[in-house]
Amino acid sequence: MNGTLSAELVIDVGNTRMKWAVFDHGRLTTTGSAAHGDLPALESAVDGRPLRRITLGSVARPDESLARSLAVLAPVKEITGASPSPVHSRYATPSTFGVDRLANVAGAASLFPRRPVLAIDLGTCTTYDLVDGLAVHQGGIISPGLHMRAQAMHAYSARLPLVDPPAETPVLGTTTATSLAAGSHHGLLMELGGFIAAFRQQHRHLAVVLTGGDALRAARALKSGIFAHPTLTLIGLHALSHYDPDNRPAAHS
């Protein structure tokens, strides 16, 4: 029966919310987000269409009740950081590799085939993952995300306030609050620019793709031919769900 169906639901369960996408014949058609465990929102997303498959990837704690509920709609395939991938990885501890990073690597490689690509996810943490032109994941970097930087300065000091940096933040602050905002915002941008420049020296024609909650903000600030792709993780989860370990891509229909 599944061979006659074309629609698939892909769900990325993050630390704070779920993101979802509907693919039809392998093409992403609609996207959205919902609160954790909001099954009615996911049912509304598919709008009554029969599904071939539901793909679920989670960086949060496993929600077995959600998986059981989704199984009523269609067969569920859960992706983890240890799932087979079309991109060979040199990561020495695959059991600790997050499913979001695995998906970002697969998504970046599918968007930029035969080209080196740096996938950067600007979420709770900022993660960098480098894939070379031969589709080999060389490794990555994890550093504090934008809001984690602000929270750390507040939490580990006696008198510094918690400041959420606005998108338009001067380089120099003239108050404690604006100085904190400048440190968080421009500190992250300087880090991004430094890593991107270093990897571009090592890999000619390097593509850079940003995803995550602060991706668009960072791409606008960097202004150097960098792609902001909010659905990168979902595209990667979809690619992983169709990967055949025997190196034969699974059929979409």
H or E element in which residue 202 lies: helix 176-202
Q: What angle do CA 210, 113, 92 make, to 5 degrees?
A: 70
Catalytic residue among 12, 100, 121, 129, which? 100
Q: What are the residues whose beta carbons fall under 8 Å from the beta carbon of 94, sequence distance 6 or more? A: 81, 82
100 in catalytic set:
yes
Tokens coding 54: 């539901």
d(CA 171, CA 169): 6
Residues 205-208: contacts with CB under 8 Å, at least 24 apart = 205/115, 205/116, 206/115, 206/116, 206/117, 206/118, 207/108, 207/111, 207/112, 207/115, 207/116, 207/117, 207/118, 208/117, 208/118, 208/120
Distance (Å, whole) CA 39 – CA 60: 16
Active site positions, annotated: 100
